[in-house]
Structure 1
């Protein structure tokens, strides 16, 4: 096996692990948490609002609470904003709103994933560090 093949395989494996990290890591520290409220809302113009709480500890770069929602087909997820987070060990509320590009979301059952993620710049290149992730079934209601 050539050195180029070995490096290509190692790089591919690293990218695969990085892509799987949010699903594989519920929390980097048991004290770090993110929750999702049991209901979200859809405005008449299609804007979706999701909310919950988070708690995280010390950071070296910017931290965000991101969220996404799916309904029906779990492989189709709609990003619903990102809120800047403060990692001071105290529980804070978060709320994200966005209007998905398609009108496929309707009031009713849905699945939300919320993630507290830091852009850590150790070594110069910003890399994600996941503090907490939560997947939850919710109900979208008309607002």
Structure 2
């Protein structure tokens, strides 16, 4: 699981983060997602989620969202956290189980176009 060292911010404030992940078939029932957050300054914002395929092969992920709470995210240094989460539904209630997390500093650049 890794997040790319750069992300983008469009003129309307939409943040795009990406990276790669690999996971094997899981025991249990339920979907797996790549969730991501970005922290710029004191504000931490969730940036979308992507369904993951756990087949042992490396896959890319791209999450995109326009933060709606707090200050808008601007280009510049930021911290990204990308997490591979299994929602285990064996008990009937989806229980999140973190498989792996990657957290590090990145550079948010203005999106082209």
TM-score, normalised relative to structure 2: 0.91
Q: Which has the higher helix share?
A: 1
Larger Rg: 1
Partner Cα distance (2:89, 2:33) in 1: 15
Correspondence 1:115 to 2:83: yes
**Runs of 4+ residues over 2 Å off in structure 1:** none
124-133 vs 48-57, greater mean Cα deviation: 124-133
- Alpha-carbon shift at residue 72 of structure 1 (Å): 1.3
Cα RMSD for the two superposed structures: 1.1
Provide the secondary structure at the position in 2 that maps to 1:89.
Answer: coil
Aligned residue-pair number = 108
CA deviations over 1:24-50 (Å, ceiling 9, x no partner): xxxxxxxxxx10100000001110000
**Residue 17 of structure 1 aligns with which residue?**
none
Quick one: distance in 1 between partners of 2:36 and 2:52?
13
The residue matched to 1:86 in structure 2 has which SS?
Answer: coil
CA contact (8 A) 1:42 1:49 kept: yes
Structure 1 residue matching 2:3: 3-state secondary structure: coil
- Aligned pairs for 1:48-59 within 5 A: 48-59=15-26
Question: 5+ residue gaps in structure 2?
Answer: none
Q: Which runs of 5+ in 1 are unaligned?
A: 1-33
Q: Which has the higher contact order (CA 8 A, sep 6+)?
A: 2
Structure with higher strand content: 2
